[in-house]
Amino acid sequence: MTNQTAQLTVDGHTYELPIVESTAGEKAIDIRNLLHETGYITLDSGYMNTGSCESGITYLDGQNGILRYRGYDIADLAENCVFIEVAYLLLTGELPNEKELNKFREDMIRYALIHEDMIHFFDHFPPNASPMSILSTMVGSLHDFYPEMDLDEDPYGGITTATARLLSKIRTIAAFSYKKSIGHPLVYPRADLNYCSNFLNMMFERPNIPYTIEPLMTAALNKLLILHADHEQNCSTSTVRLVGSSGVKLYPSISAGVGALWGPLHGGANAAVIRMLETIYADEMNFDKYIQMAKDPNNPYRLTGFGHRVYKTYDPRAKIIKEVTHEILETMNIEDPLLDIAQELEYRVGKDDYFVSRNLYPNVDFYSGIVYRAMGIPTNMFTVMFALGRLPGWISHWQEMHMDKENNRIGRPRQIYQGVVKRPFVPMEERR
């Protein structure tokens, strides 16, 4: 809180509203007592201008394309860390030392299996079930298979048994759902493999056909997961906080976050980008047609992978993922026509005043799908990959919310009612 206040005059009365300042110098008008003092609420559909909490996890400056986890620039983290190191940072606030990281690695191995009874669940989804619906269901069901994970013994903050187990098991659930979807036998986690290699091995190893884990692929996966690990109060993280604010435990809260991530305007965009690029390819690369459709105010079509609520410049994650895309494709000698189409589209959009004037640049989802394709990951698993990456962020926010005892109350927005205010009841025989 600062000593400054903002003045608001309503119905001839002037009210003083406190001003809160962030550690990075951003200022906000604190309206928590506005209703009580004035009788007015604020209206902010889509939460375009509403701070829902105070948080110390991720700093984002959308004007300048800056993204930092716990103060560390994501470019440094992506270049120098492995994913679980960053997960540790998000969860605890500090990078682990060697001993702490080794212990965390052991946790990832110790907790990698899922209860064998859970495996029967996979058999009863329809063959074309979405991996996101499977993921959400399975994460929610952890609540019953591992009830001790949801006890109040140590749920708030840092690395707990519950958080370590969830981080490890989500990877097994994701890989098993893929194997089941293609009718292949499950590949169990191995104790000798690190987090990302283990995941790739569970996805791609087959009986009698050894799978070679390319270090470049493991490194790329680590980078992608790190770049997705948190993004402050985005739609799915806000969902996790909102659901968790009702007092429900970690697993149902995360399961709800998976649902929120699924949508094409959020994490589902990475798969939608690939479908868009494939459509343009199949349509003889008629870029203009799709650009014009996206610009037409009467057409809901959008160029997926462009634009962001908070970035008004190039998404810093997209910049790194674009580099990773080139590195992977060139080093592994992989030709993917979708990369050429993506680059041409980016080039054309970058010269078009409609997109430039609205600050519509590639976002995190624009290039990530091309890297996943190079890894052999099918399009319907892309958003699951996003969920694996985002999990440490979701957990950290859930924990942070619970630790903030002073402000931790149930999330419950208001509304401006615009319906019929009152009318007499109409009996059935009089209804037309």
Q: Report the residue from 242, 320, 321, 360 that binds ligand ACO according to the rule CB under 6 A.
A: 360
Half-sphere exposure in the Cβ direction for 432 (13 Å, CA): 0
Round to whole Å and give the CA distance between 363 and 360.
9
Nearer to ligand ACO, 243 or 360 (CB): 360
Answer for which of 165, 169, 308, 373 binds ligand ACO (CB under 6 A) is 308
Scan residues 262-281 and list those touching ligand ACO (CB under 6 A). 265-267, 269
Q: Residue 307 interacts with ligand ACO (CB under 6 A)? A: yes
Give me the least distance between CB of 275 and ligand ACO, in Å please. Answer: 12
Please identify every residue annotated as catalytic. Answer: 308, 365
Shortest spacing between CB 303 and ligand ACO, in angstroms: 4
How many angstroms separate the Cα of 220 from the Cα of each of 44, 108, 252? 39, 19, 30
Q: Residue 168 interacts with ligand ACO (CB under 6 A)?
A: no
Q: Which residue is nearest to ligand ACO (CB)?
A: 307
Near ligand ACO by CB under 6 A, which window of 14-22, 105-113, 146-154, 362-370? 362-370
* Nearer to ligand ACO (CB atom), residue 267 or residue 393: 267
Amino acid at 319: K
Distance CA 51, CA 408 (A): 14
Q: What is the DSSP string of 117-159?
A: HHHHHHHTS-TT--HHHHHHHHHHHHHHH-GGGGSTTS-SSSS
How far apart CA 6 and CA 21 sit, in angstroms, is: 13
Alpha-carbon span 330 to 8, nearest angstrom: 58
Look up residue 204 and give its two tokens.
Answer: 């791609």
Site string for ligand ACO, 17-56 (x = CB under 6 A): -----------------------------x----------
Report in angstroms how near the CB of residue 49 gets to ligand ACO at its nearest: 12
Judged by CB under 6 A, which stretch of 10-18, 70-78, 100-108, 363-371 contacts ligand ACO? 363-371
Residue 16 structure tokens: 């003083």
- CA 148, 401, 264, 165 torsion: positive or negative? negative
User: Which of 155, 305 has the CB closer to ligand ACO?
Assistant: 305
Q: Does 118 bind ligand ACO (CB under 6 A)?
A: no
**Rounded-to-integer distance, Cα 55 and Cα 70, Å:** 10
- Nearest to 171, CA basis, from 216, 123, 112, 103: 112
Which residues contribute to the site for ligand ACO (CB under 6 A)?
A: 46, 265-267, 269, 294, 302-309, 358, 360, 363-365
